[in-house]
Amino acid sequence: MYCPQCGVPNDNNAFRCVKCSEVIQVVPVRTALPQIEDTAGMRMLLPVGRSLWAIAAGYAGLFAVLFVTAPLALLLGVAAVVDIRRHPEKHGLGRAVFAIVMGVLFSAPLVFFIIAGVLGK
């Protein structure tokens, strides 16, 4: 096969061009058969295939209403998003976003109270 970028002949199995490193072959990421953990029903019932960070972030997000745990929810939420981006097969982005939103929402008054407390002394 020839590189669409620079026209240099490459091996038919080559993933990247030998000359310009252009990706010339898209490797299929997923198998055709759906796995059990991919079905929506199983996903609802079990945390299978879900990022552990997202699970932790989900709970931290719930407890963010206590203000003290809000920064923790924010951190776990960000960690979950990073984890899911690294492992696209994992689920739980909704929980991660939820944790970040809750974390930001409840961290703001916490920071305000801390600053007010420091300035008030």
Q: Which residues bind Zn ion (CB under 5 A)?
A: 3, 5-6, 8, 17, 19-20, 22
Nearer to Zn ion, 6 or 116 (CB): 6
Nearer to Zn ion, 14 or 62 (CB): 14
Q: 69 near 63, Cβ under 8 Å?
A: yes
Closest distance to Zn ion from the beta carbon of 7 (Å): 7
Nearer to Zn ion, 24 or 56 (CB): 24
Q: 60 near 99, Cβ under 8 Å?
A: yes
Closest distance to Zn ion from the beta carbon of 12 (Å): 15
Q: 83 near 53, Cβ under 8 Å?
A: yes
Closest distance to Zn ion from the beta carbon of 17 (Å): 3
Q: 18 near 5, Cβ under 8 Å?
A: no
Chain centre distance of CA 111: 26
